Amino acid sequence: MARASSNFVCQSCGNSTSKWSGRCEACGEWNTIVEEAPLSDGPAGKTLGQAKGRAAKLTDLSHPEAPPPRTACGIGELDRVLGGGLVPGSAILVGGDPGIGKSTLLLQAAAAFANAGLKVIYASGEEASAQVRMRAQRLDLAQAPVKLAAETNLRDILTTLEQEKPALAIVDSIQTMWADNVGSAPGSVGQVRAAAHELTSFAKKRNTSVIMVGHVTKDGQIAGPRVVEHMVDTVLYFEGERGHQFRILRSVKNRFGPADEIGVFEMTGAGLSEVGNPSALFLSERGTPAPGSVVFSGIEGTRPVLVEFQALVAPSPHSQPRRTVVGWDGGRLAMILAVLEARCGIPFAGLDVYLNVAGGMKVGEPAADLAVAAALLSAREDVALPPETVVFGEISLSGALRPVGQTENRLKEAQKLGFSTAILPKGGKAKSGDMTLTEMADLASVVGEVFGAG
């Protein structure tokens, strides 16, 4: 049987072609296509359908085994994002920008799990053991019973894990691992895919939890093929702005707990410290209420979080006004501006619009629509909302306001932080308690009753 021909794979997006070219047709990047050897056909040249294998073991769903116990490390925010603790045999992928604190977080986690009774091995492909020990001394973790390894050869790492049989292995990072049975260079799509597959298979066979660190691209996605995120059980993103001390560990996939859960940390000289009340932290720098400032009560995972939206509307000296957004979706901003103009008669032509989520937080839920519209109106009309007011609600293209989920939890969190008034859509299942609720049917009512415009 003829051997399969080689594939040419883009190292940026993973697109596969039958011939080499200077530019990838899928992502447009230059000089990223390399040749990768195909997988072997199997024993004696047989294909998978011809070779006889072993029968797979079947189990009865009506008699399930007891779920394995989770291990909590004592870092409350990390345990929350993991779904309550570390599950034996799980494969976890952690991604984040360079210098954001991934290695610091995982070294602190390794020490915490080791102190909780787990046997932990920290394998670094980017730093020498002495460098990791220096960081451990700076974080006051030098006495933690964590074993270190500085190695990039995947076969050597797996052999060590086979001998040591740890409960938790941390690999920093997956892009530096080199599998000698793959012909491409370290960090390429083939190498990353092979290393992730071997480490995930080892985790399932030996009941060892494996945490892999992944680099991210300029778009914020984990570098390498997307299939790596499908292989693992949990995908975590470590986010934050360089100018802020806040760091957010966000779960985007979790087979053992709720997705979209967040853990909030604060970067200090002694490492990362967990933040038990993120709402108070994000609003700590909020001074006297000014036009364009609106507090939004949102839901991140299972917890309510209050953040401040800041808007600035100014006359534009250019023929094409600017629309700048930080921490929110620019497409939804354009939609809200169109609804304000078409349904409420509030034009933004000839005006620059700047929108920012204070504290480096990224908000993605549609419930922030009404808070953004209120911030834009407040900035345009130069009218500040009362300081004790929170706003949330979804805006439809017709200008109607739609109720959002977990209204009661949003109001409870706002009341706990001293807010006494809420502007929200009409028709939701809201219990006022001691708060004054201002329910609106459509955006035109907010424009007229709250800001006296339109």
pLDDT digits (tens, 9 = 90+) for 359-403: 878 898 999 999 999 999 999 999 999 889 999 999 999 999 999
**Cα–Cα distance for residue pair 179/125, rounded to 1 Å:** 13
pLDDT of residue 361: 85
Please count the residues of the chain: 454
Most confident of 47-61, 363-377, 421-435: 363-377
Give the architecture-level CATH label for domain 76-276: 3-Layer(aba) Sandwich (3.40)
pLDDT of residue 8: 84
CB atoms within 10 A of CB 242: 8
Q: Where are the domains of the chain?
A: 1-37, 76-276, 281-451
Say whether pTM exceeds 0.85: no
315 marked ligand binding residue = no
Q: Is the pLDDT of residue 43 over 70?
A: no
448 marked ligand binding residue = no
Helix (H) or strand (E) segment spanning residue 230: helix 227-231
Beta strands 262-268 and 246-254, pairing class = antiparallel
Give the architecture-level CATH label for domain 281-451: 2-Layer Sandwich (3.30)
**Cα–Cα distance for residue pair 185/191, rounded to 1 Å:** 7
Structure tokens at 155: 């076969």
Strand stretches in 301-405, DSSP E: 303-315, 323-326, 351-357, 389-391, 394-395, 401-402
99 marked ligand binding residue = yes
Percentage of the chain lying above the pLDDT 70 cut = 93
Question: Does 281-451 match 76-276 at the fold level?
Answer: no
**Of 381, 399, 422, 406, nearest to 295 (Cα)?**
422
Least confident of 56-60, 143-147, 412-416: 56-60
Q: Is the pLDDT of residue 46 over 60?
A: no
Average pLDDT (300-325) is: 92
Least confident of 44-58, 75-89, 133-147, 241-255: 44-58
**Cα–Cα distance for residue pair 14/21, rounded to 1 Å:** 14
102 marked ligand binding residue = yes
- Torsion, Cα of 17, 20, 24, 30 (10° steps): 160
**Cα–Cα distance for residue pair 75/263, rounded to 1 Å:** 10
Average pLDDT (269-282) is: 86
33 marked ligand binding residue = no
Tokens 């937080």 map to which residue?
A: 361
pLDDT of residue 357: 92
pLDDT confidence band for 59 (50 / 70 / 90): confident
pLDDT confidence band for 432 (50 / 70 / 90): low
Higher-pLDDT residue of 228, 454: 228
Q: Is the pLDDT of residue 291 over 70?
A: yes
Tokens 């977080």 map to which residue?
A: 105
98 marked ligand binding residue = yes
